[in-house]
Every structure is written in C-alpha cells, then in structure tokens.
A and B are shown apart, each in its own frame.
Chain A
C-alpha cells in the first residue's frame, strides 16, 4: 500500500441540498484524496446518506459543486456518475433479489461490456467471448470475497451478512476508482464485521480503490479509516485524522461525548 496522497479525487465544494424548507446539507465542503479510506460519521439525520446520494447523482445540489478527477460533475445522472468510475452500496441492501449472485456481479460489469445486439441474440463470436472474459473477472471477485459456494444462489435467499458482501462485490465488479459504502457493517455480528473490515482494507490496499464509508461503529471507524469527517445537522463540524476527531470537543458534544462517556 502506497498510502493516500494529497490530490483530491473527489471534491465537494459548498454543497447544499434542500427538500422544500428542510436543509439536509448546508454548504458542506469535503475532499476525498486518492487512495484513502474516509469515514463519514454523524448522528442520525446528519445528512450522511444525503451527501452520498448527491455524489452518486440521485440528488442534485441546490448550490455548490462536485468535482471528480478534475471534472465538474455536479448535475450528472446516476448512470453517468457510474460511467466515471464511482460505485456504491446502499444502507438497506439493494441487490437484485431474483438474480443469482453471479448475475448480480455480472450486472456490475455492465458498463465494461460492449453492446452488440445481434451477436448477443445469437450468443456468438465477440458476444460470447466478452461474456466469458467478464465471467473470468467476476470469478476473481468471487474468490476475493470468499463467496464461491453461493455463486448460483438467488441473492434474495442469502442471509443478510452475505447479501452485504455480495453487494460489495457488485460494486467492485465495476472496477471503481471511488467506492462509496453506506453503512457496510450495519446489523452484522462481530465476525461478519471483522470479515467486512478485512475486505475493505484489502480492496483499498490491493486495488488502490479510494473508499468513502458511512459507519456507526466507532471502533471500526477509528481502526480502518485514514481520515474521519463528521456531519451534524447538515453541516461539517470536524474533519481530520481519527485521533484528532476523537478529541475534538465539538464532535464530543454532537456525538461521541453523548454516546460514549
């Protein structure tokens, strides 16, 4: 692992998101650097998921800019954001429940595949070759996440912890530069959490993927993240190394102090 460098891969500059009179995000500025693991924390309703939704294009900011890799992409739609190399998972698992694990991961490769409708209809030549190449890639992710035994199982029939893992796999299948994880460990037991932490660190270490994650488990956050940003009532109240944030009085007041003292 080369460690995070200082260039921001994604820059959120003064972004506000409003729903009618409710200001969900209020002029939040945040940089995510190449190769780092950034944790976004904050009490319920702080605007963490809204921030992720704004980055992935579901909400369009009312003011401010979102710059990815030097290009302004404030007003792109979700499929275009995906095409830039941003993948994400959802807070409540959003797998394709009727499809097998393998098909879920193959769907993650969609943007890497070329469309040639007639050849696909015949399953012939380049279309067949492409299918097999992507299958081989997806199998590497299956090996990486240790889900070989369930590759033909319908995603909806899996236990929750595995569904979360498959969802991570689907995001990884897109070979993203930036991976957004919305509470990847919510509702897991300790062992599942440990596995998930290991996968997140390995993804970051082996593929160099930049990761931004929302998490409530402070132990996990302090252990795996390079940097922590804290949101409260739609504002960013702290941003820095985990130890620094832990000591920050504003954060203690808003969040840690209440739940941990």
Chain B
C-alpha cells in the first residue's frame, strides 16, 4: 500500500473527523507510540534516557500546555516557569504530607493546583491583550518564585531551600526518587505526555478549541457567536497551567531529582515559549518538534565537533555552541515563521506533487 491521499475516500463524518484520517498515518503513530514505550527502555543507555529523552518528554508536555494558551487561545504568557514551579512545589508538599498517595495522583493534583493559580493570574486577560498581557503574566513568574523562596513552609523548612523527590512507587515499581531507574522514569513521563497530547488534541478539535481559536482570531466576531470571552480565556489559562503544573512536578520528580526555585526562573518561561514558537503556534505536533529542537540541538552541537574530528578548546567550543544555536533559531524563524510543524506540512504537500513542480 503506497502512502498517498488520492483515492482514500472517507464515507462517514466520523472517519473524516478522526485525528489521523489516513490509515497509514494512524498506523504509523500507533506503531511509533508502541515503539517509544518498548525500545528505549531496552536499548537506550542511561545517558540517552536521562539527558535526552526524559527532558524532551517533560518539555513537550510543558510546550503543549503553553501552546494551548498562546497558540490556540492567543494569550501570550511568560508565566510558564512560575506555573511549573507551582506544580513542583505542590507535588512536593502533597507527597511529603501524604506519602501513601499514588505519585501519579499527586502529579494530577499538582496540575489542578497549578490550574487554580493559573486561573487567578489569567483574570487580567479580559482587559489586556498581547504584549501587555505578557508583562502581566511576568508578575506571576516573579511573584510565585518569590513566594516559594520566602516562605519556608513550601520546602518543609529545609535549610538548603531545595525540594527533593522522595522514593515513591507505583504497583511496586519505584518511579521517583534516588532509587528510580531512568527507564521507569522515562516510561512514566512518556505515558503522561501521550495521554496529555491526546486530551489536548481532543480539546482543540472540538467545541473548546474552536472557541479558543475564535477568541484568538477575532474576539468581536467570537462574542457575537456566543463565545464568552472571560470564561473562554480563563479556561485556557486553567488548562494550560494544569499541563505546565504536571510538567513542573515531573521536572523535579522524574528529571532533576531535587531543585530550588532557580530551576523555574524566567529562562525556563522563555525556553518553553521558544519551543512553542519554533515548533509552531497552534499545533500539538509542533510542541513536540519545538521541544525536540531545543533539547536536541544543543546536545548535537556539543558532540558535533568531536564527531567531525575537530578538537576545539573548551571555551571556544562553548561559545561556538551558543552562536550556532542562536543562528539556527533565527534561521528557522526566517525560513518558516509558522514553525517546524508548518515546515513539515509544506514538505508533505511538496512530496505529494513530487517530482512535478506544479
């Protein structure tokens, strides 16, 4: 069976509304998901899991969260780091207060707490838009981190001021903490991001997503159709913060192991925003591509000179990395301002016509 769209007729609305209407696409995605669950834990070494795949999955979840808010609902936010910190600190408080609570439930509850905080900081969005809203969300970023630094209750009065992931197990397997293996943490992060992406896709292709996009594209026309701006924007802030909160909790529990507020500073907010912009605003696939770009390219650049047989001085190598990384970001934004997801779409359209140019 050759992959092509011509001749693939969809005879019901149900099949036309499917996420992947083309069977080959559907099978490929199912196959890729299964492979992602099976192959890396068996084949990949500790370095790949810990330094590449786990952060990629966690950042993807955060990028999906921000993409729902910024890409779909059109509300620019720089508070991502703050909302992720809420998730991380909430997970720490919950699991230390209630050690018997399943850690996955803890993650979801932390997401809910982050969603509540996101709702509060989303209220200004009714009155202010665009860059001004971004500045208002910056307040969330700084206020939340200040709060976690100032109030020792959040770190259980630890003198170091850090939160540490304790050993917690699901079904007898240790998932978090110093004794958890990278494979288990990887599978946990993967499961959460797969479910998260599926739910996000379902939301954006239905009633909720359409009202978000309506607000993004033309708020006045949206109102006349019956979209209530405040409710719709707050829902976007809530759900986006839920995703960010879960991702924040994962960042500490599945990746860093322990962290202080510095891990969630403004740099993280920008990093996730870059992922969303480079990957593609308003695209779930783009969130993954953006996260992959931001996580993988620096690692590639670190290893590329040795692989090519060049031996640069360490300091020069570090500068070189930053320069090329910055250059690449600019290059991709110029080539395709709509992100890698759009680039992928265009490639598919071109391949459909290939080898004929018209």
Contact = CB atoms under 8 A, between A and B. Distances in A.
Interface of A: 56, 58, 77-79, 81-83, 87-88, 90, 94-99, 103, 106-108, 110-111, 113, 115, 117, 120-123, 127-128, 131-132, 135-136, 139, 170, 174
Given A103-B213, A139-B13, 16 more contacts: A77-B223, A79-B224, A79-B226, A81-B224, A82-B226, A87-B224, A88-B224, A96-B217, A97-B217, A99-B214, A107-B222, A110-B214, A110-B227, A120-B202, A120-B208, A132-B13
Contacts of B227: 79, 107, 110
Contact of B226 (A58, A111, A120, A135): A111
Contacts of A95: 217-218, 221
A106 B206 CA distance: 9
B26 to A, nearest CB: 14
Given A82-B226, A95-B221, A132 B207 contact: no
Interface in B176-233: 199, 202-203, 205-208, 210-211, 213-214, 216-218, 220-228
Nearest to B229: A79
B282 interface: yes
B221 A135 contact: no
B210 A107 contact: yes
A98 B225 contact: no
B225 A170 contact: yes
Contacts of B228: 79
B46 to A, nearest CB: 35
A77 B231 CA distance: 14
A108 B226 CA distance: 8
B226 A94 contact: no
Interface of B: 13-14, 16-17, 199, 202-203, 205-208, 210-211, 213-214, 216-218, 220-228, 282
A131 B224 contact: no
A94 B222 CA distance: 9
30 contacts: A77-B223, A78-B223, A79-B223, A79-B226, A79-B228, A90-B221, A95-B217, A96-B214, A96-B216, A96-B218, A97-B217, A97-B218, A98-B217, A99-B217, A103-B210, A107-B210, A107-B211, A107-B227, A113-B207, A115-B207, A120-B202, A121-B202, A123-B205, A123-B206, A131-B17, A131-B207, A132-B17, A136-B13, A139-B13, A174-B225
Contacts, number: 98
Main secondary structure of the interface of A (DSSP, over half): helix
A45 B90 CA distance: 57
Contacts of A88: 224
Contacts of A78: 220, 223-224
Contacts of A123: 202, 205-206
Nearest to A134: B207
Contact of B207 (A81, A90, A110, A136): A110
Contacts of A58: 220
Given A82-B224, A115-B207, A122-B199, A98 B17 contact: no
A56 B222 CA distance: 13
Nearest to B282: A98
A5 B254 CA distance: 70
Given A113-B207, A122-B199, A127-B206, A96 B226 contact: no
A99 B222 CA distance: 13
